[in-house]
Structure 1
Amino acid sequence: MSVCVFIAGKSAACLAGLLFSLSWTHSIEKTKWIEHWQVQNEQLVLQETFVKGSGAGIDPAPTAVLDNGWYRWKPLQAVELSSLSLANSELTPDNWMLCALDSVTRETGECIDFAKFEDRGVESFTIKPCP
């Protein structure tokens, strides 16, 4: 199984594996945000969230732990989605980054930097599992 980025309904890039991270910088607070997702039963399942600080629109969960400047928490209820829809925003200082994660060490592997799609005038992306 893998996870793929779709633009206008067509596959634009894919990463092999069942575990991946999605990261970006919050448009107002300029704070780094990372989510770990797993592909299970053709669904995207949120595993854990990491946020570097807090502020407007960034409210760590009540169960969040502050670890080396990062708030870290797991969802209280399962978050399972068939796909994730993302907007391309000029307000964020960097682009979306989708990276494969090692299932044991959680170290980052191959990544897709959404900056590679800038020259296409893309306004939105969809991420979903692919066989």
Structure 2
Amino acid sequence: MSLCLFIAGKSAACLAGLLFSLSWTHSVEKTEWVEYWQLKDEQLLLKETFVKGSGAGIDPAPNAVLDKGWYRWAPESPVRIPAISLANSELTPDNWMLCALDPVSVKPVECIDFAKFEDRGVESFTIQSSK
């Protein structure tokens, strides 16, 4: 199974695997944010969230644990969605980064840096599974 990035309804890039990270820098606090997602039954299942600190618009979940400056938590109830829609904002200091993760080491295997689409005038992206 693959997770693909779509622009204007057309596949722009895909990553093979079942475990992925989506990361970015928060536009106001300039804080790093990482989410781990799993592909399951053609749906995206949120596994865990990591946020480097807290601040405006960044409220760690009540079950979050602070570890080496990162708040870390898993959803208390399953978060399962068919796709993720993202805006391309000039206010975000770093671009979105989508990485396929090794299921054992949870280290990035291959990544898509959304910066490669900057010069195409892209306003939004959609991430969803593809058979």
Q: TM-score range by the shorter chain?
A: over 0.9
Partner of 1:78: 78
Question: 3-state SS of the aligned residue for 2:115?
Answer: helix
Partner of 2:38: 38
Q: What is the number of equivalent residue pairs in this alignment? A: 131
Q: What's the CA shift for 1:33?
A: 0.1
Aligned structure 1 segments of 4 or more residues deviating by more than 4 angstroms:
none
Q: Which whole-Å deviations, capped at 9, do the CAs of 1:11-47 have from their partners, x for residues lacking one?
A: 0000000000000000000000000000000000000
Partner of 2:108: 108
Percent of matched pairs sharing the same residue: 76
Hey, what's the Cα distance between the residues in 2 that align with 1:108 and 1:5? 17
Hey, what's the Cα distance between the residues in 2 that align with 1:44 and 1:2? 11
Please tell me the residue identity of whatever aligns with 1:71: Y
Aligned pair 1:6/2:6, yes or no? yes
Partner of 1:57: 57
Q: TM-score, normalised by structure 2?
A: 0.99
Where in structure 2 are there 5+ consecutive unaligned residues? Answer: none
Question: 3-state SS of the aligned residue for 1:117?
Answer: helix
Please tell me the residue identity of whatever aligns with 2:104: V
Map 1:12-23; keep pairs closer than 5 Å.
12-23=12-23
Hey, what's the Cα distance between the residues in 1 that align with 2:22 and 2:39? 13
Hey, what's the Cα distance between the residues in 1 that align with 2:126 and 2:106? 23
